[in-house]
Every structure is written in structure tokens, then in C-alpha cells.
Amino acid sequence: MAIATLTDLTYSYPGRAQAALKDVGLTIEGGLTVIAGPSGGGKSTLLRTFNGLVPHFHGGRISGSAEVMGLDVIATPTRKMARNVGFVFQDPELQTVYNVVDREVAFGLENTAVPRREIAGRVEEALHAAGVADLAGRAVRTLSGGERQRVALASALAMRPNLVVLDEPTSQLDPDGAQLVLAAATSLVDEGKSVVISEHRLDHLLRQANGLVLVDRGTVTTADPARWRPPAPPVRPVRSTALGGEAWSLQRVSAGFDGQLVLDGVDLSGRSGEIVALSGPNGGGKTSLLRLIAGSLAPLSGNVSRRPGRVAYLPQNPTVLLHLPTVRAEVRFTLERSGELDQPETILNELELLPMADRYPRDLSCGERQRTALAAVLPGSPALVLLDEPTRGIDSSARGALVALVAHLRDHGASVVLATHDDELRDALADRVIHVADGRVAEMAFAVTT
């Protein structure tokens, strides 16, 4: 039975001439449907039509028709659709209203005036369905990213929707957290709910999906999930230079905040022309380690040293540094400040950003913004490259471009440190892998395959 039917649906965001969705004709059946496609292609826009955020929240122009769970989306406000369609967003931190788990899960029930005597039972049921019954009563700020995202899933489930929509729910999670969220989401299908999910980690999902929708440049097509194969992982670039001398080192370094030790007695170093990957769970200390190497975080004890030269640092949430009117201006800003002679177009071309060079960076999709931030920090010839989750939200094509760019910097003598959960990126680039957890570091056995 069809749960959603879109007919000749065309949608444009306010102030944009180009349509984000073009003449979409699509029928979604029950069960698990996976939405895939390149970043900036229109996946998030399509998902938002299922609960009416497009067009009711975002505005813009829409034509055609969209019917979800028997409701006319264009005529039904999102707040009414909320009773039938649950929605989980990408960023777990930006969808939390209350600071206690139970209340957070109850928020939708309170909004739809569910009688108080029913709320506690429905909250318990939703927490159980999302696999986080043990989190009841916890303060939201104490939860890990994976736990927060499952609480967000529970919040959607509390409304007892027939359709649950998830927009890249694992893009900011470590592998364990991501696996738990995906397991919770797919188990909903066994309970008779329909699930539509947009994801970049497709292998596990495609095995269980009964529908696959591909979205690219606003055009929507369907494919057989059993036959379709995601793009191949990036190939490991061949090294063209040997490793150089020591570029940075940490000797018996401890660091922390508010009296809490985040890293304890760390001894680590990296060489010119070497790529070191940091792995480990969220909150394990990877970002603190990068900030120590960059010199942004002062150690509580021990010594940090780095060779002279420019440091290129991509922070964990890179879009925070975007503040100029165009993508090109962001790159030029770094080049001018660092006295580099390169042209912005060089790196824009390498990261496939030339077509959007004159666009406002914050109007871009999540993956495109990530690439813009990479272009803004990596132009020229940095001596030390520190990247915190550089592939967050970006598609396989952009990942390939990033691999080539980082390999190019390495071959020109840059020392690179990446904190990443992305196994494909690590396999394509890393010379060494360091596991960072509970304030300690340990070198992992890592076989380089070419």
C-alpha cells in the first residue's frame, strides 16, 4: 500500500530561480525506503515534503500534488502532519527543546494535547521502541551523540506515527552510535511502521530496504535496492615522496577543561609527508588532541612542539567559520591572510566547487558547506593540516576529491592529522591509525592496502 504519492511535484526555495525538486513523480510503499544521492541533490528537501516542512515552514513556490498517509501535504500544516509523520533531523543538538529525556520525548504529545494520564505511558513505550528505556530521567546534556539521536527518534515515535522520516541521522555519530540508531530505525519496520531514511552509510540499509529512491539535482528516480550498488570507495593514491622529519610532537601531554582530564600523559608525534588518522568514540579526546597540535588548546602539563609554517585546521563544525558573501571570497580570505599566491579557483576546482563559487556559502546544502569549509582552510601550501571529521555529510564523489587533495598536500610535505569515523577515508589515506579513547592514545594495527 502506498504511504506517499508525489505527482508532478516541483518546488523552489524562496528567492531561488532553480527548482530544488523538479517534476517529481514518486510512490513510496510501506516498509523501509532508502533515499540516496549526492549532497546538494535535494534529498533533505524531498524528505521535508513528507511532513509538510516543505512548503509550510520554508515557504517558496510549489506545484503538483503530494499525498502522505492520506493527507494532502500542501493543504495540511506541518503541525497537523506531525500526528502521522515523525521526523528525525541530522543534528541531535539542534532538535532538543527540554533538558530532561522524558520531557523531551513528551514534547510532541504535550503539543497535541494528549491527556496527561496517557503521556507517561506513551513516553515509556517510545523510549523502549527506540532502545533507550534506560535513559529515562537523564539530563539531555549528559548523553552521547548516539544516545541523543535515539532520544530524538523516541520523541518522533511517541506520537505513534505511521511513517518515520530520518534525514541523515548518523552523520555526526561514531560507528557504534550510528549502528545503534540504524538498528533502532530499521527495527521499526518489523513493528509495522514505514521508514524513509536518507543516509550515506548504505551497505547495511540496502540489505533490508524494499525501496530505493535516488535524488540528484532535483530529479528523482527509483532503483532496485537489491541490484543497485553504491559508488566504489576512493582508491588509495600512490605516494610520490618519502616521509620527512618530525613535524609535530606531544611529550607527556595532559589536557582538560573544568578540572576534568580529557587527555592524560600523551606521547605522540607525526612527520612531514605523513598522514595520521585518529579514531575512537565521540568524546574520547580526538578534537582536544587536534586542538593541542594546532596550538589552540594549552596543555595542562607536558610539551607540544610543531615545525614552523602555516596550520590549516578544519574544526568539528566547520560551517561556523563561514561568514563571507561567496564561496570564492572564503577561499580568498585565507589565501590573503596567509600570504599565499595561489588562485582560489585552484582548490575550488579540486573540490568540485567551481559551479557554486559565487553562491552564498550558508545557502548551500550540508555536504556542500563542508566542502566549502575545506576549501576555505586548505588552499595554498600549509605545513600542518588538521581535519576534524572532514567527510561529515559529503558524498562519495566529494570524498574522492578530498582524498586526492589531501594526498597532494601530503606529497608536498604537509603533515596531516585527521580525526575521522569514516573507514573509507582512513583506508584511502592513513599511514598510521591512533585510537583515542578515555584520554589515552594507542597505535592500532593498520595494514596499508594499495
Partner 1 sequence: MNARAVAAWSACCLFVVLSTTNPVYKLMVLAAALSALAAGAGLRRIRGLLVAVLLISAFAIVLNFVSAHLGTTVLFELPAQIPALGGPYTLEALVFGATGGITISAAILAAAPFSLLLASHEVMDAVPAPLSRTGVAIAASLNLVPGVATSFVQVTEAQRLRGWRPRGPRSWMEVVVPVVLTSVEGSIQLAESMEARGFGSGARTTMTSHALQRSDWMLVAASGLALASFAVSHAAGWSTDWFPYPTLTFPTVDPRPIAACLLLFTPVLVWRSRR
Q: Does 321 bind partner 1 (CB under 8 A)?
A: yes
Q: Does 114 bind partner 1 (CB under 8 A)?
A: yes
- Binder among 46, 62, 173, 312 for partner 1 (CB under 8 A): 312
- Binder among 281, 315, 344, 390 for partner 1 (CB under 8 A): 315
- Binder among 7, 27, 63, 112 for partner 1 (CB under 8 A): 112
Total residues at the site for partner 1 (CB under 8 A)? 63
Q: Does 110 bind partner 1 (CB under 8 A)?
A: yes
**Which grid coordinates are listed for 195?**
521508514
Q: Does 306 bind partner 1 (CB under 8 A)?
A: no
Q: Does 21 bind partner 1 (CB under 8 A)?
A: no
Q: Does 416 bind partner 1 (CB under 8 A)?
A: no
Q: Does 178 bind partner 1 (CB under 8 A)?
A: no
**Which residue, 378 or 436, is less far from partner 1 as judged by CB?**
378
C-alpha distances (whole Å) from 107 to each of 139, 184, 329, 441 are 15, 20, 42, 40
Decide: 87 and 42 in contact? Cβ < 8 Å.
no
- Binder among 71, 87, 218, 414 for partner 1 (CB under 8 A): 87
Q: Does 134 bind partner 1 (CB under 8 A)?
A: no
- Binder among 91, 168, 199, 395 for partner 1 (CB under 8 A): 91
Q: Does 415 bind partner 1 (CB under 8 A)?
A: no
Q: Does 40 bind partner 1 (CB under 8 A)?
A: no
Minimum distance from residue 155 beta carbon to partner 1 (Å): 7
Decide: 152 and 89 in contact? Cβ < 8 Å.
yes
- Binder among 249, 333, 412, 424 for partner 1 (CB under 8 A): 333
Q: Does 16 bind partner 1 (CB under 8 A)?
A: no
Q: Three-class SS string for the chain?
A: CEEEEEEEEEEECCCCCCCCEEEEEEEEECCEEEEECCCCCCHHHHHHHCCCHHHHHCCCEEEEEEEECCEECCCCCHHHHCCCEEEECCCHHHHCCCCEHHHHHHHHHHHCCCCHHHHHHHHHHHHHHCCCHHHCCCEHHHCCHHHHHHHHHHHHHCCCCCEEEEECCCCCCCHHHHHHHHHHHHHHHHCCCEEEEECCCCHHHHHHCCEEEEEECCEEEEECCCCCCCCCCCCCCCCCCCCCCEEEEEEEEEEEECCEEEEEEEEEEEECCCEEEEECCCCCCHHHHHHHHHCCCCCCEEEEEECCCCEEEECCCHHHHCCCCCHHHHHHHHHHHHCCCCCHHHHHHHCCCHHHCCCCHHHCCHHHHHHHHHHHHCCCCCCEEEEECCCCCCCHHHHHHHHHHHHHHHHCCCEEEEECCCHHHHHHHCCEEEEEECCEEEEECCCCCC
Minimum distance from residue 208 beta carbon to partner 1 (Å): 25
- Binder among 1, 15, 17, 94 for partner 1 (CB under 8 A): 94
Q: Does 280 bind partner 1 (CB under 8 A)?
A: no
Q: Does 49 bind partner 1 (CB under 8 A)?
A: no
Residues 340-379 that bind partner 1 (CB under 8 A): 362, 376-377
- Binder among 16, 61, 116, 252 for partner 1 (CB under 8 A): 116
User: Which class for 421: exposed (0-12), middle (13-18), buried (19 or more C-beta within 10 A)?
Assistant: buried
Minimum distance from residue 28 beta carbon to partner 1 (Å): 18
Count of other CB atoms within 10 angstroms of residue 14: 9
Decide: 222 and 58 in contact? Cβ < 8 Å.
no
- Binder among 49, 96, 170, 372 for partner 1 (CB under 8 A): 96
**148-177 footprint of partner 1 as x/- string (CB under 8 A):** -------xx--x------------------
What is d(CA 285, CA 437) in angstroms, rounded to the nearest whole number? 6
Q: Does 57 bind partner 1 (CB under 8 A)?
A: yes
**Which residue, 61 or 141, is less far from partner 1 as judged by CB?**
141
- Binder among 107, 216, 309, 412 for partner 1 (CB under 8 A): 107
**Which residue, 291 or 392, is less far from partner 1 as judged by CB?**
291
* Largest separation between any pair of C-alpha atoms in the chain: 69
Q: Does 106 bind partner 1 (CB under 8 A)?
A: yes
Q: Does 98 bind partner 1 (CB under 8 A)?
A: yes
Minimum distance from residue 97 beta carbon to partner 1 (Å): 5
Q: Which residue ranges make up the site for partner 1 (CB under 8 A)?
A: 51, 53, 56-57, 78-80, 82-83, 87, 89, 91, 93-100, 102-103, 106-116, 119-120, 123, 141, 155-156, 159, 291, 294, 296, 311-313, 315-323, 333-334, 336-338, 362, 376-377
